[in-house]
Amino acid sequence: MLDLTYEVLAREKGGIQKQVSELLDRSIVKDYRARWNSMSFKPSPSIVGAEDGSINHKRYKNLVIYAVNATAIVYDGDIRSASSADVGVLYPYFQIEERLHLYRAIYEFKCALEVIDSVDLFLVDGSMMSDLNAFRRLSQGVSKEQRAEVFALLPMLEQAEGVGITSIELSRRLESEEYREKRVFLEYLEYLSTLEKLLSRGLDKLVGISKLSTRSRLGIGVPDLAVFDEATSQAGYSDPETDVVTRRFPVYDELFRSLVFTISNIRLEDGKDVYMLEVPREIDKSQLIELLEKISYTSVDGYPYLLKKAHKDVVIRNSDMDRIAGGLGIIEKTGREVLK
């Protein structure tokens, strides 16, 4: 199948390149180039941390087995880490994909909380603004009375310590009526609670690094990353811009909506890829440069080494899920999956 894909690429390559050139109009490239500040970064020694997580699952007709893990790595002259993992059955069989990603995010944030107080700088894989806007569908379909029942469990979510999905255990306290929706809403509250803790404790330390941002400042349908990559080649950064989250939240609304995010596109070494940098606070150019010099301290080939290592350490492959299912004694039989 991959051979066929390459054949199509060879046949369509010219047309695709022409389309890209048309999208990246010269006047647009010129505008982006004017917003780029070329400079070489002098690495600044600092204690740096980074996180990543992974989740995978095996879906049967009557159940979903999942495995999740996350790690937070710190470099302070030596490399150390705080890691955690879990294997379980996703219950109820509802909103599967979103809940799996939510579980992964909770593990990532909680591992980060294990080390956040010991670092000068902590790198998050992706966008914190996107994190705040994620999973909002999980708060829908719950009545005012049902929300009140779930909100009563919030203090226990906030007081929970360690790494794990606390809402799984707390959900046993929910009444059976509309259990499915209430269970999912409780999990969403745990997600927001964990994110609130991380933002509150790490506000001056957190930095999001995104390789796949689709943000487009001019709304031309092409990500800023792609345009800056085409328009520039030297190390540097784009003029910082600010943005805020405008949506409402069922909890911590005042904090989340008060945050001002500073966003810049960065390249740490000449000729390397461009990434989006995002911090949950307002900073000027001099502060941005200081930040980039700290990030450069543990970067290799233009990318933060700790983020790369964290990603490599947590990957859960389909073959891993096959072994996990086998270890649990789960088999497929005549289209139905049963426990041995």
Q: Per-residue pLDDT tens for 33-75?
A: 889 999 999 999 999 999 999 999 999 888 899 999 999 999 9
Q: Is the bond into 280 cis (omega within 30 degrees of 0)?
A: no
Residues 281 and 295: their CA atoms lie apart, in Å, by 17
Lowest mean pLDDT among 22-31, 150-159, 294-303: 22-31
* pLDDT higher than 50, residue 333: no
Token reading at 282:
């307002």
Least confident segment among 15-19, 65-69, 144-148, 228-232: 15-19
Q: What's the rounded Cα separation, in Å, for the pair 58 and 319?
A: 10
> What's the whole-number mean pLDDT along residues 112-130?
96
Quote the pLDDT of residue 19. Answer: 62
| CB hemisphere CA count around 169 (13 angstroms) | 6
Task: Give the pLDDT of residue 23.
Answer: 58
Domain ranges of the chain: 48-335
At residue 49, the 3 state secondary structure works out as strand
Confidence of residue 329 (pLDDT cuts 50, 70, 90): confident
Q: How far apart are CA 184 and CA 94, in angstroms?
A: 8
Q: Which fold has domain 48-335?
A: archaeoglobus fulgidus dsm 4304 fold (3.30.2170)
Each residue's pLDDT tens digit, 4-14: 665 665 676 66
Q: How far is CA 238 from CA 36, 125, 301, in A?
A: 4, 20, 20
- Dihedral sign (CA 213, 218, 221, 226): negative
Q: Tokens 């010991």 belong to which residue?
A: 118
| Residue 334, pLDDT above cutoff 50 | no
This prediction's pTM: 0.88
Token pair in block for residue 135: 């999973």
CA 288 from centroid of its chain's CA atoms: 21
The half-sphere exposure of 126 on its side-chain side, counting CA atoms within 13 A, is: 14
For 206-246, list the strands marked E by DSSP. 206-210, 236-238, 241-243
| Predicted confidence (pLDDT) at residue 1 exceeds the cutoff of 60 | no
**Percent of the chain residues past pLDDT 90, beyond the cut:** 74
Nearest Cα to Cα of residue 215 among 264, 251, 162: 264
- Computed over every residue of the chain, the mean pLDDT equals 90
Q: Once rounded to an integer, what is the mean pLDDT over residues 289-310? A: 97
CB atoms within 10 A of CB 135: 19
State the Rg of the chain over Cα.
22
- Rounded Cα–Cα distance for residues 246 and 250 (Å): 13
Rounded CA separation 309/74 (Å): 11
